[in-house]
Amino acid sequence: MRLGLVQHPCGPDPEANLQRSLDGIAEAAGRGAELVLLQELHRGPYPCFEAHPRHFDAAEPVPGPTTERLGEAAAAHGSVVVGSVFERRAAGLYHNTAVVLDADGRLAGTYRKMHIPDDPGYYEKFYFTPGDGGFAPVDTAVGRLGVLVCWDQWFPEAARLMALAGAELLLYPTAIGYAADEPADEQARQREAWETVQRGHAIANALPLAACNRTGEEPAARFWGGSFVCGPQGEVLARAGADAAETLVVTVDRRRTEAVRRMWPFLRDRRIDAYQGLGRRYLEP
């Protein structure tokens, strides 16, 4: 399968940002991409750098204007598109929602972000209600997609549950970057940890994985780009740069999942009879 990732900066004009995403979809499809992954909340600047009610004005329903435009692009190019929406579900009820548009343009499914951060520059708990749909892959023309969102990428349980539900590929729309006052060595550690933990999810589940991150300077952070794709043994197949818009297109051989799982049968050897403690917040001594 040919997989495309569209990494770009976001300015104050939502229409200009969406057009960057649409142009990236067209470029990726023109280079053979059957599936195109966009970054988290790609229609606007990342709103959660502060807790202020005015940023709710950027929210929209699903289906809605963004899914309509992405669906048109998916149908025009015959490619599956995974986008990201600041969803207004009801008055006072909002989600950080990944949307999957199938190759015929229809809305194939959604995933509402389950893990919601609340950290300096990332005050998402003010805006987003945790998802209530669980970890359910979305079936599309190119296969069953395990779509997760940004902060979810630090939690092995999320990737595992997607794999157990039959996901053939793990996908992470992302917005992550450096705080301005962090020293260079700490920045390097954070970025390396971000990529390493996701490569670990790929290895532990023998699944190819793609993470599409935004780039550019915004009030929240300097987003570090570095969008990447890795194979089922964590091998990096393609990686974008840090500081510029870039469209990656890479071939992913999904047949390798079967071959790798025959050599490393982690699903076979899981001790499901001994994991009861995972349902608790913490195991007191």
Interval 122-168: pLDDT, tens: 999 999 999 999 999 999 999 999 999 999 999 999 999 999 999 99
Is this model's pTM higher than 0.95 or not? yes
- Flag whether 178 is in a domain: yes
- Flag whether 125 is in a domain: yes
- Flag whether 127 is in a domain: yes
Q: 199 — phi, psi (to 5°)?
A: -60, -35
- Flag whether 284 is in a domain: no
- Flag whether 219 is in a domain: yes
What are the residue numbers of the active site? 40, 113, 150
- Flag whether 285 is in a domain: no
The residue-averaged pLDDT of 194-214 equals 98
- Flag whether 140 is in a domain: yes
Residue 242's domain is classified under what CATH number?
A: 3.60.110.10
The number of folded domains in the chain is 1
Beta strands 236-239; 228-230: pairing state: antiparallel
Interval 229-253: pLDDT, tens: 999 999 999 999 999 999 999 999 9
Residue range(s) defining the domain that contains residue 253: 2-279
